[in-house]
Structure 1
Amino acid sequence: MAYKSTLLLAILLNPVVSLADPAQDCFAFIVEALLDQGYVVLPQVFDTDYLACLLKELIELNPTDFDRAGVGREDSFQKNMFVRSDKIHWLSGDENYLSRYNRWVEALRLYINKHLFLGLYDYECMFAHYPAGAFYKKHLDAFKNSKNRRLSSVLYLNPQWGAQDGGQLVVYDKISPSPLFEVSPTFGTMILFLSEEFPHEVLPATRSRYSLTGWYRVNESLV
């Protein structure tokens, strides 16, 4: 993985990305990595104080507002415990505690469109809770017969997470059955990847595992 060389190239091409939020300083790195390999893993985007506040608000959501996750959408939607066993809460985007995150997401959308011409139109986001033992079998984020999900993002919110806790995201390419790489869901780690290109799965964890998971979408009527 050529992360260091990619970052150096990004700095040379775009020495100043944004002064609005230090978390936006990685935008050039993200774009170069997506162009080079289709994914990027960032060990720390937001400061720990903000992440702690974000986690506190999210885990205090009313448990009755969570749904058992399913697969597919609209007429093909189904809840299949053999495929996934996590619980999710869809976010409206109007939550006050998400304002900084939403500004970051929107700024990245505009930056990516400017440099990669992906035509990203909007962003949908959910809070995912994987209770101990929960999993999500190998899948693609892009729905069958639909091309609207273009770029996936996952921000992990798991303080003091160790290798013994499990819950890794295992990422594949479309050609080989062997894993391409794994990501441990440690506090503050974020991964972005092209939704249609990388099958992936979530391994069971020994304790509750939390994440903000989202998708940049394109306007399907224009695809």
Structure 2
Amino acid sequence: MFRIDPAQFAPLLDKFNQQGWVLAPHFVPAALNQALLADLQQQQLQHAGVGRQQAHSINADIRRDKTAWFDGQSTAQQQYLQLMQALQQAFNRAFFLGLFDFECHYARYSQGDFYHKHLDAFRGRSNRVLTTVSYLNTVSQGGELQLFSEEGQLISSIVPTAGSLILFESERFPHQVLPAVDERYSIAGWFRRNNSLQGHIDPPN
């Protein structure tokens, strides 16, 4: 079991406060990262869809990765969720975001797989507040995550590196995954706010 030190989040919080996104190398401890990669490789991955609820569909012209949602059954998943819960608490204390929960899934991009430019949330229409991507392996070619400004200018092109985490505001930054060359493994996640007026958590986007 690894120990979570809230002080480790301070540089991440400072950088996020400055620009609304942050890349944190070595965020996930190496042993946990390896355990997560092994757990992913035991999952039954399915073609990822786009849209939510009735609008959900499979569209290979938009994205071609395969995913498996966390069910919290493995020790690796439980430890990762514990780490993200601590990060959620740190963000709520620092920025009063009212983050309510965290959802995430494994993702595998095989050679040629991509995800075209998109937003993870739309103003007033989603409860996703912060997007996270944790990289489970290091790739030498392909699969970069490109982050864009609200005006459409390229901010950063991030090469997947094992253990690193990128976090950004879900409704502010369009992003895309370039076609993979090397196999690319990651965890995509979202910190969410509960927008339900009935006291029930909103369904996942």
Q: Output the TM-score relative to the length of structure 2.
A: 0.89
- 1:117 alignment counterpart: 96
Q: Residues of 2 paired with 1:56 and 1:93: CA distance?
A: 15
Per-residue displacement from partner, 1:19-62 (whole Å, max 9, x unpaired)? 9425x44311222222210001011112322211221121122x
Q: CA deviation at 1:145?
A: 5.9
Contact 2:32–2:80 at 8 Å: present in 1 too? no
Contact kept, 8 Å, 2:130 with 2:167, in 1: the verdict is yes
User: How far apart are the structure 2 equivalents of 1:173 and 1:143?
Assistant: 15
Q: Distance in 1 between matches of 2:118 and 2:129?
A: 15
Structure 1 residues 20 and 207: CA distance shift in structure 2, 3 A: closer
Shift in alpha-carbon separation, 1:58–1:40, aligned structure 2, 3 A: same
Bigger Cα displacement from structure 2, 197-206 vs 40-49: 40-49
Residue number among 143, 159, 174 corresponding to 1:184 in the alignment: 159
Task: Please tell me the residue identity of whatever aligns with 1:155.
Answer: S
**8 Å CA contact retained: 2:70, 2:77:** no
Q: Which residue of 2 aligns with 1:21?
A: 4
Q: CA deviation at 1:74?
A: 0.7
TM-score of the pair, normalised by structure 1: 0.82
Q: Secondary structure at the match of 1:84?
A: coil
Question: Paired residues, what number?
Answer: 197
Task: Tell me the equivalent position of 1:156.
Answer: 135
Structure 1 residues without counterparts, runs of 5 or longer? 1-18
Going from structure 1 to structure 2, the CA distance change for 1:94 and 1:60 (only over 3 Å counts) comes to: closer
Partner of 1:172 in structure 2? 148
Following superposition, the deviation at residue 113 of structure 1 comes to 0.6
- RMSD after superposition: 1.9
Deviations 1:135-165 (A, max 9, x none): 0000001158622000011100114x22xx1
Match of 2:108 among 129, 145, 150: 129
Q: Which residue of 1 aligns with 2:56?
A: 77
Give the match's secondary structure for 2:69.
strand
Q: Is the 8 A contact 1:133 1:207 kept in 2?
A: no
Report the counterpart of residue 47 of structure 1 in structure 2.
29
2:84, 2:30 → 1: CA distance?
Answer: 18
State the SS of the aligned residue for 2:191.
strand
Q: Quick one: structure 1 residues 67 and 143, their matched pair in 2 at CA, closer, same or farther if it must change by over 3 Å?
A: farther
Equivalent residues in 2 for 1:61-72 (5 A)? Answer: 61=43, 65-72=44-51
Percent of pairs with identical residues: 39
- Compared with structure 1, are the counterparts of its residues 85 and 44 closer, same or farther at alpha carbon in structure 2 (3 Å cutoff)? same
Distance 2:31 2:3 in 1: 18
Residue 89 (structure 1) aligned with residue 68 (structure 2): yes
Is 1:214–2:177 an aligned residue pair?
no
